[in-house]
Structure 1
């Protein structure tokens, strides 16, 4: 409830704070003397205009009430110094870093990789490979040996057949010869994926390296992705206490009705035990291979060829189903998948290409030049003791020499020296000293390029600054609301119970019926059923008289239900006895009401969630009134009049 409340709140109210206001900008209102300017109000109003659902929030006066309440709360939060809490500072810092990351990456590189990723997930590749394991930090001699060995295996595979060689060399320790089966984009490390997709069917790649070692890959087949299916289903599950009907029998009864020409959607609405999809005629969200936990269900869905095809009843681990194919497509359009693919690219090895482009761009932006003299110096003072974690800076270390300048920040030799000393405490992979110096300097430089960019991004990018300020205030208000209102259940237990006592009549359970519902597509069948029910004939006997092995003309539902139950018509009268025949979901129903269960008063425990929510709203209203007394609001009516006039012209 708290998060839902917060998200609604942030959508409607969160604003872009303005650090500096123009002297010509008029003051719309003040909170305890602090001015709030027209430009800020208009920015917020226009920003949220298309987001709000409540028409009242589009009214300037109503929106101004919300906005002034927001400003009151923000004033209180700062008065309580919530913005100085370590937890707040830490949370804001984490968000700032994440947000900055999305603003400093090269969008052109990202777009190209996203387009490539889409092309690759549009295909499935069937391939085998041979891998010779090589450690990432292996010396050049060892890597050359592995490469040459794999080159010879490739020559053998071309002559003798890849599969034969693969099976012979596999030992499960240093050499792996594996059948990979079908895979698509993002299923393998990027370098392997590249090799596989760039190798024609039937051919064997040249040796290539990943972090696991050297590979060759033999591509057996490439096919279009199986794509996406949209289906509807009717599901039956075993119900506790129901000994009358087995789910496999009930699903067969429904299947018989489908064969008799009744509509799938209408039957799903009346009888499917999947309550989430029943109201939509059984329709499920689109899915592709691997997204459905029930393999039998997925295989059945992909086996249906034509839209409108319906499966026979089958069982999965979740129950019994009948599936109808509504739509099939090979793969969603690129634009639909683009946000998802962008996220995957950023988490994948592909991100290294984006990083390299970023570092190059930042070096150019901030005028960073190579300092070979510094690299030579650090190489000369490093030695193998570093890899034993016992290296120290020499006594005559040139700490004050200039290392590199990023923007207006000058780094000294001492900065890189401290970096090397600190890194020595962690995991150190031994490399030749020249390569080691170069690699660590590049890492040091790149890390500081990013830090400098992040530190200056608010000045360089107005949009980033606005969003960060929005989150900064939003996080502050969340903390305030949580401590002042949302945690009331923990501290105000007596007050909550008192609130329940005073508003008891608001918390009742709905009226219910203990009933038997007979459903049929034929009105005359229900007339016959009604007569049998009036005689007191039991349900099993009625089913035997009306239905046969080949046809199902009536289905019974026995339950204690309220008016919202899917099998009941909306205008049903809750009156003991056998009802008239109602038209419902393109069919007909009659209801034999055994007993009408009256509306009942909910106990405090039963209504607790609802009571707490109502109490929090009540408490917040009172609290806001005290804030209005504490921080007087003064609205400039003449300026407000101008604002309204300006909005009307938009």
Structure 2
């Protein structure tokens, strides 16, 4: 989406404010017999009232002039067929789809998930789990076997203790018994996160399934989030084989002594740290929160450092010996600060399936779609094992004309779903049953078409959405028109630009200016001394040392070329060479040494190129709009206009 389109015209803002007091269906004016209604004019006028900078645009007649010019341009764009361009239609469709998401999804569900996510990241859970690993697409028989296994392990864990069972059953292939340490929201898949946060400390969850298989989880502890830390470290690996035959602990202790002698941490990290990824950066690591690193010992030391700049004593992890320096610490931000960030994460996370499911349920209810679909039995009967080979075809006697579902006023037949089945057979899971395949494909087919239907009819059902889309549609169309008709042609019309410059030279004059040094001080007596020193041509740095002493700044100098509007000069400043009188200015005093006075002079075309081009474009646009007024007749309904004026005045 081209962001610049939002600035094409005054009329493309997106805030809606409708005044419904007048006869809004009444025609205000026509452009070549195309009606423009009172309702649109009032809506746009009210919406832009606080945005206009020129007070004249608040005058109804002035605004109507702008609005008719706007409509004339739209008429020309459509006459030129710009609204039929594939690139225009593609971009408009993309925007509509993006915008529709804000209108068709259930914000209550999203908001609840965002608040839940904030609560989750505000606390950390320490948990262990046992997993019976099975593929996500496992057949029903294997799934039942895995469920029965995890259920029996839960019974054992309740009787014998979770840790005992966890350690005994772990084999690292089909059964995993793992100590996970502390983690917070978004660190685990959502189903696992739910089980961990919803299980009380000391208890064992019921069996639950994720894409990895069946789990049970026990919660050891819950605590308030420790936030995020940024640290640097110096690491000496456990397998240390240098020429001095030093063991890692001795080497790290020697480095620690150098730190205590005042040597720079970053410099020592660059010289001696064996973590090659961080050594070149002075040992600096990316920010992390609890559970993000694979070393709980390292995390504990980092989070126990209190103040930025604190350095730990040497300590050991499975990776080697470390010294850690705290660079930054951050607690969980307030909800409002990270709400938008959490919402984006929720929509990327598996939580998004809950949002999708809520939308599908809402649309099924809205369009009276029954959850039961008797026709699926017929599709199960015509499917065969060719589907798994990507060679399945619809049978010759296929009942394609039979009705499948109706969404609003659009009907879908057996052929619509049959074609979908045929096109999407690639990658079908060979472990699935034909019944499961048909059911899953139908759900996807139905949900996709429900959303498409809602998107396609949203303009009819939602006035706010319709207004926003229409404004973007017009703004996008006018951008293309202005770019091709005015902006690009003006940039390439060098002769026209030169001619416009020659005709309007008085607009591109440099004002009278001075080359000066201006001294400013709150004390007039200080400036008297400065004026004398300036008159003696003393160097500014010397003057500063003489008047700005004992740690106090009594005078500030500004130098350069200045015109009468320069902020350093008072309004009544006299442009004359030499030392000026002392002026009162902005609750202080100034004195200036004017080295030269430059008279008013014409800018060259190169110097004024940006301004000339902008003025030339405005000139071309004004002439072009006058041509459009001759090309298309505009007829104002004076009676309707008077009603609008009276309404807005009231």
TM-score range, shorter chain: 0.5 to 0.7
Question: Match for residue 61 of structure 1?
Answer: 61
C-alpha displacement of 1:621: 0.6
CA displacement 1:436-476 (0-9 Å, x = unmatched): 33222110110111122223333333443343333333333
C-alpha displacement of 1:424: 2.7
Question: Match for residue 615 of structure 1?
Answer: 616
User: In 2, are the aligned partners of 1:117 and 1:341 still within 8 Å (CA)?
Assistant: yes
Distance in 2 separating the partners of 1:189 and 1:508: 67
Question: Match for residue 360 of structure 1?
Answer: 361
1:336-347 alignment, distance < 5 Å: 345-347=346-348
C-alpha displacement of 1:72: 1.7
CA displacement 1:167-223 (0-9 Å, x = unmatched): x9999xx9998999987x678765566566657789998887666778868767424
1:71 aligns with 2:77: no
C-alpha displacement of 1:90: 2.2
1:571-650 alignment, distance < 5 Å: 571=571, 575-578=576-579, 591-595=592-596, 601-649=602-650
Distance in 1 separating the partners of 2:186 and 2:144: 26
Distance in 1 separating the partners of 2:206 and 2:598: 77
C-alpha displacement of 1:384: 4.6
C-alpha displacement of 1:31: 2.5
Distance in 2 separating the partners of 1:499 and 1:187: 64
Between 1:536-545 and 1:359-368, the stretch displaced more is 536-545
1:243-262 alignment, distance < 5 Å: none
User: In 1, are the aligned partners of 2:125 and 2:223 still within 8 Å (CA)?
Assistant: yes
C-alpha displacement of 1:574: 5.5
Question: Match for residue 105 of structure 1?
Answer: 105
Secondary structure in structure 1 of the residue aligned to 2:607: helix
Question: Match for residue 8 of structure 2?
Answer: 6
User: In 1, are the aligned partners of 2:401 and 2:415 still within 8 Å (CA)?
Assistant: yes
Distance in 2 separating the partners of 1:212 and 1:607: 67
1:560 aligns with 2:555: no
Question: Match for residue 487 of structure 1?
Answer: 488
Distance in 1 separating the partners of 2:29 and 2:635: 5
User: In 1, are the aligned partners of 2:29 and 2:635 still within 8 Å (CA)?
Assistant: yes
Q: Which has the larger radius of gyration?
A: 2
**TM-score normalised per structure 1:** 0.66
**TM-score normalised per structure 2:** 0.66
Secondary structure in structure 1 of the residue aligned to 2:635: strand
CA displacement 1:106-163 (0-9 Å, x = unmatched): 2332343344455557x36587988989765466748986995998999999759x9x
C-alpha displacement of 1:419: 0.6
1:452 aligns with 2:453: yes
Q: 1:5 to 1:98 in 2, by over 3 A?
A: closer
Q: Unmatched 5+ residue regions in structure 1?
A: 17-21, 227-288, 291-301, 305-327
Give RMSD over aligned pairs: 5.2
Say how many residue pairs are matched.
538
Distance in 2 separating the partners of 1:149 and 1:195: 15
Question: Match for residue 95 of structure 2?
Answer: 95
Q: Unmatched 5+ residue regions in structure 2?
A: 229-286, 289-305, 309-329
1:252-401 alignment, distance < 5 Å: 334=336, 345-401=346-402
Distance in 1 separating the partners of 2:188 and 2:566: 46
Question: Match for residue 436 of structure 2?
Answer: 435
User: In 1, are the aligned partners of 2:369 and 2:407 still within 8 Å (CA)?
Assistant: yes
Distance in 1 separating the partners of 2:41 and 2:548: 68
Secondary structure in structure 1 of the residue aligned to 2:392: coil
Secondary structure in structure 1 of the residue aligned to 2:619: helix
Q: 1:583 to 1:205 in 2, by over 3 A?
A: farther
CA displacement 1:491-529 (0-9 Å, x = unmatched): 423212221222233235566655555566666555544
Distance in 2 separating the partners of 1:188 and 1:501: 70
Q: 1:586 to 1:389 in 2, by over 3 A?
A: farther
Between 1:587-596 and 1:603-612, the stretch displaced more is 587-596
Distance in 1 separating the partners of 2:445 and 2:395: 20
1:404 aligns with 2:400: no
Distance in 1 separating the partners of 2:501 and 2:130: 69
Q: 1:608 to 1:407 in 2, by over 3 A?
A: same
Question: Match for residue 418 of structure 1?
Answer: 419
Question: Match for residue 551 of structure 1?
Answer: 551
User: In 2, are the aligned partners of 1:2 and 1:486 still within 8 Å (CA)?
Assistant: no
